[in-house]
Amino acid sequence: MCTCQSCRKASCCDASSICMYITITIIQVGTACLWALIIFPKIHLLNVITSIVLTAFFALSLLYEMSCFNVTVFSDPGSVPEWWKELALPVWQQRAQARILTANMARGAPTLQPTPSTSIQTVDSVEEEQETTLQQFRGDWSNTEGTDAFERITWCEKCQNVRPERAHHCSVCDICVLRMDHHCGFVSNCVGQWNYKSFLLFCISTPIAALFYIAGAVLAAIQVFKIRSDSTKSFFILLPLLFWAFILFILSVFALSMFIDSIRMTQHNLTSIEDHGARLESIEVVKDGKVTKKQIRGAWDEGSGTQNAIWVMGRDWCGRINPFSKPRIPFDGLYYPHPPDLLPLRH
Ligand SMILES: [Zn+2]
Ligand SMILES: [Zn+2]
């Protein structure tokens, strides 16, 4: 278990996570070194302007990719805040007690009253706290009056505590993660509510940076063949360039496939966990007095890819491409309205 106070994950400091982080960093730094030592000098001889422009694009794309990677690795994927647990736990305890009483009554058994030592709050105080939490949640989200923020909370057997809907327990990190997608071995971290955006940006920036590298390597190879008559020397110069291009190509194909699959799920506001078994269905939406039909998939699909993207990318378009900014989303990942109830209100 990691001993640092800021990190409650079990996986961040184990040997395999450190090895994977070092491997990815070596690939990134190695790509930059090969460019600086071999590719840039060669294409500079070929064409000065091309070398400067291509180097600028390559450097920017690689720096961006490294930023997205490090943000995904080191950010909190979505641990459940303690203040939320303190508010939700009494609600869960009340429901559990109500279920026990109902079951006892159904069996005809004597009903058990809570003892004075039981730390269960009164209904009034719980409702008061729920209302305060809802006020915190609502913010500028105006169409959710009367929403019960604790309606669909669940219980984690591993953490022995409450958790919001869509939160899942990661057995590797040993915590519950908000809107958990999966535990990613490449970034040695869970991909959840708060680092899903940087993960998507990492997945798309990897093939972009690789594309610039491969373009540079091809131009460098042309220059090598132009000036060298000795094919053996040319081969030994080109070998590391082409070997590296091959590694980057394989990683890019994998990253791109992850990106495409993640975008497909984001379009329906689904995670990898929820994607299994989610069915496509048709709902009716009232817009300007007219009833229109929309195709939705899963319980949180709002029928619009743009609207669904808000839940992982935030509303701000500049923020969507900034890996360092935390996406600003309704309810801070602690509550997700079920759209069929809300669609008629939003349109
Ligand atoms: Zn848990
Ligand atoms: Zn995890």
pLDDT tens digits for range 48-91: 999 999 999 999 999 999 999 999 999 999 999 998 898 889 88
Between the CA of 74 and the centroid of ligand 1 the distance, in Å, is 20
Between the CA of 161 and the centroid of ligand 1 the distance, in Å, is 7
Between the CA of 178 and the centroid of ligand 1 the distance, in Å, is 10
Is 153 within the bounds of a domain?
Answer: yes
* CA dist., res. 174 & res. 8, Å (int): 8
Between the CA of 31 and the centroid of ligand 1 the distance, in Å, is 39
Residue with tokens 């009164």: 122
Is 203 within the bounds of a domain?
Answer: no
- Count CA atoms within 13 Å of residue 122 on its CB side: 3
CA-closest candidate to residue 78, choices 203, 206, 197:
197
**Bridge partner list, 283:** 294
Which pLDDT score, from 0 to 100, does residue 120 have?
43
The tokens of 331 are what? Answer: 């309810």
CA-closest candidate to residue 192, choices 157, 168, 160:
168
Amino acid at 19: C
Which pLDDT score, from 0 to 100, does residue 160 have?
93
Is 75 within the bounds of a domain?
Answer: no
Is 177 within the bounds of a domain?
Answer: no
Which regions of the chain are under pLDDT 70?
1-13, 109-147, 228-232, 340-347
Is 307 within the bounds of a domain?
Answer: yes
Is 8 within the bounds of a domain?
Answer: no
Between the CA of 77 and the centroid of ligand 2 the distance, in Å, is 8
Between the CA of 275 and the centroid of ligand 1 the distance, in Å, is 20
The angle at the Cα of 247, spanning 243 to 251, to the nearest 5 degrees, equals 165
Where in the sequence is the domain holding 335, given as residue range(s)?
273-346
Amino acid at 41: P
CB under 8 Å to 120, separation ≥6 — which residues? Answer: 90, 93, 94, 97, 114
Between the CA of 133 and the centroid of ligand 2 the distance, in Å, is 28
Between the CA of 121 and the centroid of ligand 2 the distance, in Å, is 33
Is 30 within the bounds of a domain?
Answer: no
Is 41 within the bounds of a domain?
Answer: no
Which pLDDT score, from 0 to 100, does residue 296 have?
86
> Tell me, what DSSP letter sits at residue 193?
T
Between the CA of 66 and the centroid of ligand 1 the distance, in Å, is 30
Count of structural domains, the chain: 2
Q: Which ligand is nearest to the CA of 156?
A: 1
Rg of the chain over Cα atoms, rounded to whole angstroms, equals 26
Between the CA of 174 and the centroid of ligand 1 the distance, in Å, is 7
Amino acid at 126: V
- Count CA atoms within 13 Å of residue 172 on its CB side: 16
Which pLDDT score, from 0 to 100, does residue 45 have?
87
Between the CA of 10 and the centroid of ligand 2 the distance, in Å, is 8
Between the CA of 168 and the centroid of ligand 2 the distance, in Å, is 10
Q: Which ligand is nearest to the CA of 157?
A: 1
